């Protein structure tokens, strides 16, 4: 089984991906829901970071360190750095805090100094606010963003014809890599008889709101 298929299967078993009727932040009624916050125990989060590490290494992206935007990106950066280390790739990591401290180490950054090519890790890209803030932080320290790694690319149009991930690629000139995409989810549904009832609904949702990427 492919990495994306393994990830979707695991996410479904954990209840991270659910099927039914859900209202998104954009006000759309979606036939599926992805909540990475439900990777909420040691075993499942360790596995999640393993998927990130495999996807990062498989992407061929050149990077020197990891950055996790507060708050969801923080454990992802730490956990993925650990899983990369297990695979023989030892890279530093850093993350930011929302509010600057005026005592102790001070500032808004924790971890290694931002240097070289910095890979941003987050769970999903919605409005792109987290990515914009991360890119600004990285560049303000003289480093360069190498790309963005997310769990699931929903491949949904934003305000225009492009998806949030495509907009990030166009605006900042950096690649967005995901463990799985909406197309991967549809392929999984097509091959999973007990979920056949959800297949047509997800396909219709993609037809109505989705974009298509080159595979």
Catalytic residue among 103, 141, 161, 212: 103
Contact 51, 7 (CB under 8 A): yes
Phi, psi of 39 (to 5 degrees): -80, 75
- Laid out side by side, the sheet with 93-101 consists of 107-111, 93-101, 65-68, 117-121, 144-153, 176-181
Active site residue 212: no
SS3 per residue for 114-155: CCCEEEEECCCCCCCHHHHHHHHHHHHCCCEEEEEEEEEECC
Residues 6 or more apart whose CB falls under 8 angstroms from that of 208 comprise none
Contact 195, 201 (CB under 8 A): no
Q: Is 6 exposed, middle or buried (0-12, 13-18, 19+ CB in 10 A)?
A: middle
Catalytic residue among 101, 115, 141, 212: 101
Active site residue 98: no
Name the 3-class secondary structure at 15: coil
Name the 3-class secondary structure at 32: strand
Active site amino acids: 101, 103
């Amino acid at each position: 089984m492919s990495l994306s298929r393994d990830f979707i299967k695991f996410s479904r078993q954990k209840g991270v991906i659910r099927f039914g009727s859900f209202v998104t932040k954009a006000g759309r009624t979606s036939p599926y829901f992805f909540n990475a916050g439900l990777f909420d125990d040691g075993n499942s989060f360790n596995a999640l970071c393993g998927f990130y590490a495999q996807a990062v290494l498989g992407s061929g992206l050149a990077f020197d360190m990891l950055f996790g935007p507060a708050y969801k990106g923080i454990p992802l950066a730490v956990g993925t750095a650990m899983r990369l280390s297990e695979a023989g790739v030892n890279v530093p990591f850093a993350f930011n805090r929302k509010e600057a401290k005026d005592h102790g180490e001070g500032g808004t950054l924790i971890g290694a100094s931002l240097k070289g090519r910095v890979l941003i890790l987050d769970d999903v890209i919605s409005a792109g606010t987290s990515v914009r803030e991360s890119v600004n932080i990285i560049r303000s320290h003289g480093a360069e963003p190498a790309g963005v790694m997310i769990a699931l690319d929903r491949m949904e149009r934003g305000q225009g014809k492009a998806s949030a991930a495509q907009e990030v690629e166009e605006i900042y000139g950096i690649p967005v890599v995901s463990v799985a995409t909406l197309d991967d989810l549809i392929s999984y549904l097509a091959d999973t008889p007990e979920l056949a009832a959800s297949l047509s609904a997800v396909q219709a949702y993609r037809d109505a709101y989705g974009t298509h990427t080159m595979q």
